[in-house]
């Protein structure tokens, strides 16, 4: 198990494999909204799928703000200052901002957070996670997972 995958596992995040060079799940993934994959399952995926990408399931432990338009960032930071300090992932178009969720609150996904056209990935969703690679672009942390805010 790679170090980043191990970190996701240790923090209790639910992860799934994605097809090589894609955002498409390599498995049926809905069950992983409610349970974390075992180490054995994760190891089997790494052996059964050629160079899979990784997705983190959002909802119970993790919610992610997905910004595709950089011009929306100043308004996002004004409305939610914590976004500037939390875990930040560079995506092909812009950024993902990770926030922890204690699982006590069911948070709904939306495609129009704060009316800005920003997507909130929560229950019933997933995000492509580092170190996934799509079309020669590698998703990577700009602010590490250790800095995640509630």
The pLDDT averaged over each successive group of 10 residues in the chain (150 residues) is 89 96 97 96 94 95 97 97 98 97 88 93 97 97 96
Q: What DSSP state is assigned to residue 35?
A: S
Query: What is the rounded CA–CA span in Å between residue 109 and residue 137?
Result: 26
As a whole number of angstroms, the distance between CA 79 and CA 44 comes to 42
pLDDT of residue 13: 96
pLDDT reported for residue 103: 81
């Amino acid at each position: 198990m790679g170090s980043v995958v191990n970190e996701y596992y240790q923090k209790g995040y639910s992860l799934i494999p994605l097809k090589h060079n894609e955002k498409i799940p390599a498995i049926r993934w809905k069950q992983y909204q409610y349970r974390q994959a075992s180490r054995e399952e994760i190891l089997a995926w790494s052996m059964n799928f050629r160079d899979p990408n990784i997705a983190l399931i959002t909802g119970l432990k993790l919610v992610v703000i997905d910004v595709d338009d950089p011009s929306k960032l100043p308004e996002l930071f004004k409305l939610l200052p914590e976004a500037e300090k939390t875990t930040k992932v560079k995506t092909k178009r812009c950024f993902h901002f990770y926030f922890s969720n204690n699982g006590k609150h069911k948070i709904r996904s939306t495609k129009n957070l704060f009316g800005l056209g920003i997507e909130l990935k929560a229950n019933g969703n997933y995000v492509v996670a580092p170190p996934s690679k799509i079309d020669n672009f590698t998703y990577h942390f700009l602010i590490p997972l250790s800095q995640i805010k509630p």
